[in-house]
Structure 1
């Protein structure tokens, strides 16, 4: 259950971060390549192309990263067992 919840959290946070990075990358693309702004073309390019791509890539990578960290955390023992005679 912990893995699933962390994967959903990673999906949510990754989507938000990816969308923000997509908008930033799209604005940089428009400025660098001097995309025309005729009838809002550059704005549509940023918000209908770069933002959804960034959100999709960010969401998938965030879910995979948080899921991997949650699975890896279960493999690491948190508590040590009682000390045996050989450990004393």
Structure 2
């Protein structure tokens, strides 16, 4: 259950972050390649192409990252067992 909840949290956070980065990348694309703004073409390019791509890539990537971290958390020993050896 913990893995699924962390994966959903990663999906939500990654989608928000990816969408923001997608908008930034789209605005950079428009400025670098001098995309025409005729009838809002550059705005539609940014918000209908770059933002959804960024949200999808960020959401999937962050969900996988959070799921992997949750799976590995079960393997990490939280408490160290005392070593049985000579007492000083």
TM-score by length of 1: 0.91
What is the alpha-carbon distance in structure 2 between the residues aligned to residue 27 and residue 84 of structure 1? 58
Aligned counterpart, 2:18 = 18
What is the root-mean-square deviation of aligned Cα atoms in Å? 1.4
Structure-2 residue corresponding to 1:68: 68
1:54-65 equivalences under 5 Å are 54-65=54-65
Structure 2: 5+ residue stretches without partners: none
Shift of 1:86: 4.6
Q: CA offset at residue 33 of structure 1?
A: 0.2
Structure 1 portions without partners, runs of 5+: none
TM-score by length of 2: 0.91
Following TM superposition, where does structure 1 have runs of at least 4 consecutive aligned residues deviating by more than 6 angstroms? none
1:71-82 pair list within 5 angstroms: 71-81=71-81
CA distance in 2, matches of 1:80, 1:31: 55
Distance (Å, rounded) in 2 between the aligned partners of 1:84 and 1:64:
36
